[in-house]
Amino acid sequence: MKTLTLRRPDDWHLHLRDGAILQGVIGDTSRHFARAIIMPNLVPPVVTTTDARAYRDRIIAALPNGDRFEPLMTLYLTEHTDPDDVEEGKKSGLITAVKLYPAGATTNSHGGVRDLDKAMPVLERMAKIGLPLCVHGEVTTPDVDIFDREAVFIETVLDPLRKRLPELKITMEHVTTADGIDYIKSSKGNLAGSITTHHLIINRNAILVGGIRPHYYCLPVAKRENHRLALRAAAISGDARFFLGTDSAPHVDPLKECACGCAGIYTSVNTMSCLAHVFEEENALDKLEAFTSLNGPVWYGLKPNEETITLEKRDEPANFPPKRETGAGPITVFDPMFPLHWQVVEK
């Protein structure tokens, strides 16, 4: 196969940051993706519908001329989130989901939830009105090994929450383990999972073998090879409960290349080329459209995009920029460590 035409994809988990970084990276998403769920972990975070409306306006203002892109806004869940504000945000059409960050789990999550009981009023309201909860599925307990935190979250937080509030629709974002995949597959409804581009490609060796390589460090951290293979099997399965959420997370290089570097991998530039490579390796190019363009809209109650994009496999590999220059500084682009021959045909 040399060409592949898909419905235009969506990204169901995206970080755009703000200010100069937003202006520098937004075009890498809007060039190929029609919609994206925008993460709310700014400083300060997006905690109210008013915050989300202002942030959406800044995103729209930063779009390159001619790009058609819809940011799907989320609210950052706190122990003081107002259920009425959340409901008004959904009714207005502005708010697509609410995001649960366990306090301290990842970048700018220090204001997240420490006691889930205190957030139950808003979760109960969300269940009533049909608003999804997106979760960063890791515990932050210091004595739990970082490679086990997703599995422990499922056992101690997610499963009890689902039993307590079974009608709440939950997206387990950036699943990284076979445990997460198996838990979603065994569920009887109201649970789905997004999978990133980079977790389909790297395991923890990429971060640690041959020296510490900070541009492969993300949270949840990449796991053992058996977990990567489980993610691949889920992504190519066609199972409607799994879809793309890149978790593309730009940080300027000085904040990655330091004694306490930030977690995040910037994949928006080459995600579609990477995914075509992965799905071809698995003899599953016929399942790529479901993963990138069909399953996510169904889960979030939206129609698939009518527009299409075309990828072409070329003899010469693509020459993606190693860095994206922004007004805040350079951001290193994800290097999959193999040549990318599949490229989106730009119109």
- Give catalytic residue positions: 247
Return the exposure string of 173-198: e unless at least 16 CB atoms fall within 10 Å of the residue's CB, then b. bbbbbbbbbebbeebeeebbbbbbbb
d(CA 206, CA 258): 18
d(CA 128, CA 168): 8
d(CA 13, CA 20): 20
Which position has the token pair 């220090």?
A: 110
Evaluate whether 108 touches 42 at the Cβ level (below 8 Å): yes
Residues 6+ apart with CB under 8 A from 209: none
d(CA 337, CA 345): 22
